[in-house]
Amino acid sequence: MEKLLVPVTGNEIAPRFDLAVEVLILTWGLFPKPEEKTIVLPQASAEKLCHLILTEGITCLICGAIEEEYHQFLLWKKIDIIDNVAGPWKNALARHRKGALTPGDILFKRSVEGGHVYHP
């Protein structure tokens, strides 16, 4: 069973792990569609997020920027981490399920309108 945690802001991955107040937990069991659970924290706290990751039995973390101290702690606790990811969490999830998500991926769709780059 895989259990994934993504700190989110709306429909996107939160830009910073330590400032996220909402997380999405996705659990895959016997069915191809994951069970989704959203948790809203009373305040942003990297320590509380780390505690939540451990108590929920999370196996993988997909996040934006994360301080080295928390990154090393979670690695020590055997949590897979895909960090510095930006964009919609659904895009990250789809790439992760295909085994194609890597640290540093930028998942915003780009289009050029009138000579400007547009990020929806």
Total tally of structural domains belonging to the chain = 1
Mean pLDDT of the 65-91 span = 97
Residue 28: its pLDDT value, please?
A: 84
pTM for the predicted model, two decimal places = 0.87
For the chain, give the percent of residues with pLDDT over 90: 80
Q: What dihedral angle (degrees, nearest 10) is formed by the CA atoms of 70, 34, 2, 91?
A: -50
- Nearest CA to 61 out of 32, 20, 10 is that of 20
Question: Has residue 67 got a pLDDT over 50?
Answer: yes
Mean pLDDT of the 56-61 span = 97
Left (φ > 0), alpha (ψ -120 to 50) or beta: where does 6 sit? beta
CATH number, position 35 = 3.30.420.130
Give residue 30's domain range: 2-118
